[in-house]
Amino acid sequence: MTNQNSLPIVHLPPFQNYSCTSCGRCCRQPWGIRVDSHAKQEIVDSQTAKSVTREGYLPIETLNGVELVGRKPDGACVFLDGQNMCLVHGEKGSQSKPLDCQTYPYLMTETPDGFFISVSFSCPAVVAGFGKPVEQDREELERILSDHREEALQDEPVGESLEVLQDMTVDWGSYLKLEPLIMQAFRPDLPVHSMLGMAVSLAAFFHPANPAEELSLSRLNLAAPLDLGGFDLELCTLFSTIIISILEREGQPEERQSFSDRLAQGELLESYLYGVPLPEFAILSTPDQMTSQVIARHFLAHLFGKKLLAGPLVSRLLGFACGYTILLFYLQAFRQQDSEKHFSFAALDRAFDLVEASVITHTHSLDGFFLEFENLIMEALGRVFEESTRGPN
Amino acid sequence: MAWMGFLPDTPTASDPLHLPEWLNFECTACGKCCTSGWTVRVTPVIASVIEKSEIASKKKEKGYLPLEISQSTGHQILGFGEGKKCVFIDPDNRCDLHAEVGAFRKPLVCQVYPFDLSKTPAGYYATASFACPAILAGVGPSVAEQRPHLEMLLATYGSSVPHRDRFADRILLTEGLSLSWQQYLEFEQALLNGIAAERPGPYLIKTAALLIEASLAGDPWNPDEVVAQARRLSAPDVLDLLADLTASALAVLEHPEDLQAQQEFGTRLRYAPPAESGRFPISFSALELGRTFDQITEEVLVRYLASFIFGKRLLRGSLLNGLLFLAASIEVLSAYLAGLAQARTGPAPSFRDLELCFELVETEFVTHTEVFRPLIDEHEKKLRQRPRPLPEFEPT
């Protein structure tokens, strides 16, 4: 999607600040960073690659046929120096780095109306909203998208027709009318509850068995959700505890069932990931206004940046409901450990990193659960609609 | 309220109470307000409740004074236990007096905190102290839920509940000039409309300058126009005045007892920074008015400003005086936050840093009018005497 000057149309979130603080976290994430063909040429020709090789590391590793930047035994990128600076960047400039490194923390989605940009809340500077408005990076992003569109995109482009449910599509124009309704229904102080409410309402609205004669978006009110008698909260507890057990017992699949069962039953467990005691499992509200402000920015960034379209919309909303459940649960655990009663940036930053990296943004490995969550909500709604058409006998 | 054993001195239940419902609050029993050595004035009625209580006798047996006389004001105040702790606080940060006599017979200062009430021709306006960490972070539900508690307090104790009186028919703008209450409310609304979009220190002092200019010139009353102009105005002389005021205020806070050290610090900060802090292990770099922070801090600042203004705290002396006080307090706060930022890694201040800065400004600056009033008065005079320049706008 380009305009007359053949520069891509790029939409940046107007409510987010970001400047890199060289904290080095993204260079230590256990992410597979693809080495695109341009970066490969630059790296192979560099002095940096030679010295990395001399130290006994592979500058580029091949995993299942995909070329990735090399890693040191501690997981850090082989090109990261002691000052959290990139050796490739230092030697040959920013544009010689892999595209993932050039664009992070920006997340780009192509749509019929151009590219929409979100930001990753795995990045502490993004969580804090540190630095300049993201508008400052427009030219850089336009250049990257103009020269390297294919390689810079993380997700499939959003087409003229997009999935709102697994077998129900709407056109792009209708989706754009849904977006403000979603924004209005979102409650940063009650992220899980409001997310479930809008997911159930949307699922009901588009449900094939919905007896309403005429579907009109103007009559859709996502802020007044349909009541499933707490079934949506039960499912959210089920899926969230399963996901927590997968995160906590990654290497011990045989222990996951018991971990999630005990968690859901309210047992007090210890976190294997972080070595902290976990609180009793609950679906929590946001503990304070400072945290609410960050959650609001997080959701708006992903809504604006079209990250809710990385799968069927309802399943993504349900995925975000699980994401916020897990975020607030670990936030409570980290705050208890710091004995902080009011607000803790360090705890919030850690919890966001977990959820972004391992639940909703940098992984698709849990998408199956969210699709199943959607199926179960659809079945429950089917029963509600069946009863209501049968009448009160 | 027969069970109280006494009657309220003024029935005020009908006075409307205006709450800043965008603030959240729930006490977290952090104990800060009970352990910081603050002076808590006790009214005679409550003093007699305390004197008759068992817990007071127990404290006396242990050698503590439940009630003392303030050396500075001569008022009866709560006594102290270990260090700066209130004599009645237990090791779990619970109030022993509360446990014995109930919430409604504690000193009124304790009952109303962290709220701050101003009585006006339109009823009571509340705001809350950002020295309270729960208010700062916004823990708990909206303060709308505190309405029954505060209304009960006002209905029971009337004007004995600590508050500031803003009952005058006219609001003093500056010496010789005044506004009607209605005009003040219009101005306040205009000011609040711009508060989230502008850098607060410069915005407040430029608004103050234009308000006084328009009033001295006898321009027709149009607060929206004053505020709109302030947002466009580049006024280096007015900003210089704010920089002087901020440097002087910081000097007094850093060296409260030592006039010569104040002068040296102020001069160094204005003309040869950095200047070392005597309070914290930080140094102040060159003053940068209207400094911006990370978005987490910015949200707190906007919440603070809106609550301060809504709570009628601009009306402590003249309105011009209040605007100068608030502009300077934001710049003082920003200077400390920026100093602490140099000493940390990471993109956001720790909550502890925010807490320190807000506590400092709330408990040692904006409430310490007796110390800072001469300084503010001096700058108010300068602002009044400022010649009305030709309009000079920043290029758009």
- Calculate how close chain A gets to B134, using CA atoms only, in Å: 6
A105 interfacial to chain B (CB closer than 8 Å): no
Residues of A in contact with B353 (CB under 8 A): none
Residues of A in contact with B20 (CB under 8 A): none
C-alpha Rg value of chain B to the nearest Å: 22
The pLDDT of A337-360, averaged and rounded, is 95
pLDDT at A299 over 80: yes
**Which residue out of A134, A332, A343 would a mutagenesis test of the B interface target, given it has the greatest number of B Cβ atoms within 10 Å?**
A343
Which residue of A23, A128, A346 is in closest CB contact with B296?
A128
User: A49 to each of A43, A80, A189, how far by Cα in Å?
Assistant: 6, 12, 48
Interface of B with A in 112-141 (CB under 8 A): 133-134, 136-140
- Kindly indicate the confidence band of residue A2, based on its pLDDT and cuts at 50, 70 and 90: very low
**Which residue out of B351, B354, B359 would a mutagenesis test of the A interface target, given it has the greatest number of A Cβ atoms within 10 Å?**
B351
Find tokens 């050595």 and name the residue.
B37
pLDDT at position B387, please?
A: 77
Nearest chain A residue to B295 by CA distance is: A129
B295 interfacial to chain A (CB closer than 8 Å): yes
pLDDT at A161 over 50: yes
pLDDT at position B1, please?
A: 34
Encode chain B (396 residues) as per-residue pLDDT tens digits. Answer: 333 434 444 444 568 999 999 999 999 999 999 999 999 999 999 999 999 999 999 999 999 999 999 888 889 999 999 889 999 999 999 999 999 999 889 999 999 999 999 999 889 999 999 999 999 999 999 999 999 999 999 999 988 999 988 767 789 999 999 999 999 999 999 999 999 899 999 999 999 999 999 998 889 999 999 999 999 988 899 999 999 999 999 999 999 989 999 999 999 999 999 999 988 999 999 999 999 999 999 999 999 999 999 999 999 889 999 999 999 999 999 999 999 998 888 899 999 999 999 999 999 998 777 889 999 999 999 999 887 665 555 555
**What is the Cα–Cα distance from A319 to A359, expressed in whole angstroms?**
8
- Calculate how close chain B gets to A296, using CA atoms only, in Å: 11
CB spacing of A293 vs B295 below 8 angstroms? yes
Task: Give the tens place of pLDDT for each residue, A314-325.
Answer: 999 999 999 999
CB spacing of A128 vs B294 below 8 angstroms? yes
**What is the Cα–Cα distance from A341 to A359, expressed in whole angstroms?**
26
**What is the Cα–Cα distance from A79 to A60, expressed in whole angstroms?**
10
Write the DSSP symbol of residue B178.
E
Which residue of A129, A130, A342 is in closest CB contact with B133?
A342
A344 interfacial to chain B (CB closer than 8 Å): yes
Q: A355 near A323, Cβ under 8 Å?
A: yes
Here the tokens at position B187 are 């101005």
Q: Environment class of residue A339 by beta-carbon count within 10 Å: exposed (0-12), middle (13-18) or buried (19+)?
A: exposed
Q: Are strands A168-171 and A161-165 parallel, antiparallel or unpaired?
A: antiparallel
pLDDT at position A219, please?
A: 79
Nearest to A223 by CA among A245, A193, A253, A203: A193
CB spacing of B347 vs A297 below 8 angstroms? no
**What is the Cα–Cα distance from A275 to A357, expressed in whole angstroms?**
19
Write the DSSP symbol of residue B317.
S
- What is the three-class DSSP state of B382? helix
- Calculate how close chain A gets to B231, using CA atoms only, in Å: 20
Here the tokens at position B17 are 């109470």
In this structure, the dihedral spanned by the alpha carbons of residues B260, B264, B270 and B273, taken in order and rounded to 10 degrees, is -150
Q: B152 near B3, Cβ under 8 Å?
A: no
Find tokens 């000493």 and name the residue.
B343
- Calculate how close chain B gets to A271, using CA atoms only, in Å: 24
* C-beta contacts of B196-201 below 8 A and 24+ residues apart: B196/B302, B196/B306, B197/B231, B198/B231, B199/B289, B199/B290, B199/B291, B199/B292, B200/B290, B200/B301, B200/B305, B200/B326, B200/B327, B200/B330, B201/B242, B201/B246, B201/B289, B201/B290, B201/B327, B201/B328, B201/B330, B201/B331, B201/B334
Which residue of B28, B140, B347 is in closest CB contact with A128?
B347
Nearest to A324 by CA among A205, A153, A192: A192
The pLDDT of A269-293, averaged and rounded, is 97
pLDDT at position B8, please?
A: 43
- Calculate how close chain B gets to A285, using CA atoms only, in Å: 10
Which residue of A23, A294, A344 is in closest CB contact with B351?
A344
B83 interfacial to chain A (CB closer than 8 Å): no
**What is the Cα–Cα distance from B307 to B129, expressed in whole angstroms?**
9
Q: Interface pTM (ipTM) of the complex?
A: 0.92
Nearest chain A residue to B142 by CA distance is: A289
Residues of A in contact with B140 (CB under 8 A): 288
Q: B210 near B230, Cβ under 8 Å?
A: yes
The number of CA neighbours under 13 Å toward the Cβ of A273 is: 16
pLDDT at A251 over 50: yes
Residues of B in contact with A129 (CB under 8 A): 294-296, 298
Nearest chain A residue to B28 by CA distance is: A341
CB spacing of B296 vs A129 below 8 angstroms? yes
A21 interfacial to chain B (CB closer than 8 Å): yes
Q: Are strands B115-120 and B164-165 parallel, antiparallel or unpaired?
A: parallel
**What is the Cα–Cα distance from A113 to B188, expressed in whole angstroms?**
42
Q: What b/e sequence results for A207-232 when a residue is b if at least 16 CB atoms lie within 10 Å of its CB, and e otherwise?
A: beebeeeeeeeeebebeebeebeebb
pLDDT at position A225, please?
A: 74
Q: B125 near B312, Cβ under 8 Å?
A: yes
Name residue A116's beta-bridge partners: A11, A109
**What is the Cα–Cα distance from B187 to B226, expressed in whole angstroms?**
9
Task: Give the tens place of pLDDT for each residue, A230-250.
Answer: 999 999 999 999 999 999 999
pLDDT at A221 over 90: no
Here the tokens at position A308 are 């809710």
Q: B95 near B89, Cβ under 8 Å?
A: yes
| DSSP-assigned states of every residue in B46-109 | HHHHHHH-HHHHHHHHTT--SEEE-TTT--EEE-B-STTSBTTB-TTS-BHHHHHH-GGGS-HH
Find tokens 């960050």 and name the residue.
A294
CB spacing of B138 vs A292 below 8 angstroms? yes
Nearest to B259 by CA among B274, B248, B243: B248
The pLDDT of A217-233, averaged and rounded, is 84
**What is the Cα–Cα distance from B102 to B111, expressed in whole angstroms?**
11
The pLDDT of A363-387, averaged and rounded, is 95
Nearest chain B residue to A340 by CA distance is: B351
Residues of A in contact with B24 (CB under 8 A): 288-289
**Which residue out of A17, A18, A119, A288 would a mutagenesis test of the B interface target, given it has the greatest number of B Cβ atoms within 10 Å?**
A288
Residues of A in contact with B300 (CB under 8 A): 290
- Calculate how close chain A gets to B391, using CA atoms only, in Å: 31
- What is the three-class DSSP state of B5? coil
| Other Cβ atoms closer than 10 A to B27 | 14
Cβ neighbours for A250, distance < 8 A, ≥ 6 positions apart? none
Q: A292 near A188, Cβ under 8 Å?
A: yes
Residues of A in contact with B137 (CB under 8 A): 288-290, 342-343
Find tokens 């039953």 and name the residue.
A265
Would you say the C-alpha torsion A267, A272, A277, A283 has a positive or negative sign?
negative
Q: A318 near A233, Cβ under 8 Å?
A: no
B21 interfacial to chain A (CB closer than 8 Å): no
Which residue of A21, A297, A341 is in closest CB contact with B347?
A21
Nearest to B330 by CA among B205, B235, B210: B205
CB spacing of B30 vs A341 below 8 angstroms? yes
A346 interfacial to chain B (CB closer than 8 Å): yes
**What is the Cα–Cα distance from B337 to B331, expressed in whole angstroms?**
10
CA angle A107, A249, A334 (to 5 degrees): 65
- Kindly indicate the confidence band of residue A1, based on its pLDDT and cuts at 50, 70 and 90: very low
SS (H, E, C) chain A: CECCCCCECEECCCCCECCCCCCCCCCCCCCCCECCHHHHHHHHCCHHHHHHHHCCCCCEEEECCEEEECECCCCCECCECCCCCEHHHHHHCHHHCCHHHHHCCEEEEEECCEEEEEECCCCHHHHHCCCCEHHHHHHHHHHHHHHHHHHHCCCCCCCCEEEEECCEEEEHHHHHHHHHHHHHHCCCCCHHHHHHHHHHHHHHHCCCCCCCCCCCHHHCCCCCCCCCCCHHHHHHHHHHHHHHHHHHCCCCHHHHHHHHHHHHCCCCCECCCCCCECCCCCCCCCCEHHHHHHHHHHHHHHHHCCHHHCCCHHHHHHHHHHHHHHHHHHHHHHHHHCCCCCCCHHHHHHHHHHHHHHHHCCCCCCHHHHHHHHHHHHHHHHHHHHHHHHCCC
CA angle B375, B377, B382 (to 5 degrees): 100
Q: What is the pTM of this model?
A: 0.93
